[in-house]
Amino acid sequence: MKNQTKLLSGLAAAMIALMAGPALAEPLFWSTQAKPVEESQKMRADVLSKFSGGVDYQASDEGPWRTRIDAELKAGKGTITVLGGLHGELSGLENNLVDLSAIDHVSIGDGLMQLGKLGTSEQKYIPWMQATYLMAADKKALQYLPQGADLNSLTYDQLIAWAKATAEATGGPKFGFPAGPKGLKHRFFQGFLLPSYTHSMVSNFRSAEAETAWNKFKELWQYTNPASTNYSFMQEPLLTGEVLIAFDHVARLADAFNKRPDDFVAFPAPAGPKGRAFMSVIAGVAIPKTAPDMEQAKALVSYMLKPETQVATLRATNFFPVVKTDLPADLPPSVKVSGPAITAMTEAKDALPTLLPMGLGDKGGQFNQVYVDTFERIILAGQDVKQVLNDQAEVLRSLMKDTKAPCWAPDAASDGPCPVN
């Protein structure tokens, strides 16, 4: 009996050691990216497994992500080794990030590196991967394209006409828009629709041009599948055929291209009177001042920039490399379909690049909410456009005043907080 107890306690001790052992040694990569379970698993198995000692990759929503890093910073002691997040998520943490200028980054473009300084003189984060948003369509819908419209240089008016013709021909609205709770609808208003009409994301929020833009979207909404308010990722409704034309983040369209590469096309976002606005999404890796092992952290950041890691990341997340590297030929169809469309958009004559919000610190969520609320009030609740824009402009203005965030592209640079006219 005594022996048995000994054996049991020995076993229990061994189990605890087994469970705790590797977890202690593995550096924690605390990220807001590659959040869907399959993507997180690919990050662990295909991207990070070759880092010596292994990596504990954990992805979470921005809120909890920020709460944990804030708590560790407040405690002055942490377990997070490397932070992964979008440009806007990392900005606001700049006083608590380690300078990374010593890390070899020759193969990353200067423009991207500049963003990583977050407006300081130090390299606060190193660009990790990039993506953007695109339009996608089922080839069945191409026959309804309005006369004279070129898929690679559509305007918003042509898109509306196309969505209308498709709806009339197929018996129901077939444009799709990620307006679900986890959908990235706010990015469409911030980086595509509003800048295309106003050349601004913040300053001209309630201008007459902005009113036009929202009225155009209202028109488009008539031909939008009403189930859109439940869609978070457009790849699924495209695959089921509930939707024939859609807008979403490339990573959220990838599944459709990968499963049926011959059935879908990708094309640039439409243009408005002020140009073809599109938003670039830059994710970066950074090291918090509270990282438990600085050497290991820097080694992990360098590891993320290796060309083979970057290609593996592309396969895992559909985010494109930030380093110049030759892409292998056996990449998934989604990359082959979206690559040319991205080039067509970024290199269009009327291209108007916009950036993710920056300098808002932990108020990024409230900034997005201004656009989401505007959408819900104008489009879903049918409230008066001018009235809603005036109301929401007040919220936006006090937010910009609170955060003192200066303007970013496409708004003209400002001294002090970005003004809301």
**Residues engaged in binding another protein (CB under 8 A):** 61, 63-64, 66-67, 180-181, 226-227, 229-230, 240, 242, 362-366, 368-369, 373, 376-377, 380, 391
Q: How far is CA 204 from the centre of its chain?
A: 23
Angle of helix 364-375 relative to helix 62-75, nearest 10 degrees, comes to 160
Helix segments in 118-268, DSSP class H: 156-170, 185-188, 194-198, 208-222, 235-240, 254-259
Shortest approach of another protein to residue 96 CB, angstroms?
16
Please tell me the distance from the alpha carbon of residue 322 to that of residue 108, in angstroms, as a whole number.
6
Tokens coding 143 = 């026959």
Question: Which C-beta is closer to another protein: that of 271 or that of 405?
Answer: 405
Question: Which C-beta is closer to another protein: that of 63 or that of 416?
Answer: 63
Contact 136, 246 (CB under 8 A): yes
Question: Which C-beta is closer to another protein: that of 89 or that of 322?
Answer: 89
Shortest approach of another protein to residue 228 CB, angstroms?
9
Shortest approach of another protein to residue 387 CB, angstroms?
11
Residue type, 97: L
Half-sphere exposure of 173 (CA within 13 A, CB side): 15
Question: Which C-beta is closer to another protein: that of 33 or that of 123?
Answer: 33
Q: Which pairs from 227-230 meet CB under 8 Å and 24+ separation?
A: 228/176, 228/177, 228/178, 228/179, 228/180, 229/179, 229/180, 229/380, 230/180
Shortest approach of another protein to residue 221 CB, angstroms?
11
Shortest approach of another protein to residue 183 CB, angstroms?
9
Question: Which C-beta is closer to another protein: that of 270 or that of 357?
Answer: 357
Shortest approach of another protein to residue 278 CB, angstroms?
25
Question: Which C-beta is closer to another protein: that of 38 or that of 61?
Answer: 61
Question: Which C-beta is closer to another protein: that of 226 or that of 328?
Answer: 226
Shortest approach of another protein to residue 179 CB, angstroms?
9
DSSP 121: S
Residue type, 69: I
The angle at the Cα of 5, spanning 3 to 10, to the nearest 5 degrees, equals 95
